[in-house]
Amino acid sequence: MTTPDCSQNFLPLASQIAIVTGAGRGIGAAVSHRLAALGATVVLTSRTAGQLEELAEAIRAAGGKAEAHALDLRSEESITALMQALKERHGRVDILVNNAGIGSLGHPLHEMDPGAWNDLMATNLRGPYLMIRAFAPMMIAARRGHILNIASLAGHNPLKNGAAYAASKWGLNGLTYSVAEELRDYGVRVSAIAPGSVNTSFGHTEDGSWKIQPEDIAAAVELIVTQADSSFISEIKVRPLQKKKS
Output the DSSP codes for 144-199.
-EEEEEE--GGGTS--TT-HHHHHHHHHHHHHHHHHHHHHGGGTEEEEEEEESSBS
Q: Which of 129, 165, 177, 186 is catalytic?
A: 165
Tell me whether residue 165 is one of the annotated catalytic residues.
yes
Residue 123 CA to residue 101 CA, distance in Å, equals: 6
Secondary structure of residue 116 in the 3-state scheme: helix
Determine the Cα–Cα distance for residues 115 and 124; give it in Å rounded to an integer: 14
Q: What is the dihedral of CA 149, 154, 156, 159, to 10 degrees?
A: -160
In angstroms, what CA-CA distances link 171 with 80, 94, 113, 185, 188? 23, 24, 20, 23, 20
Q: Catalytic residue positions?
A: 165
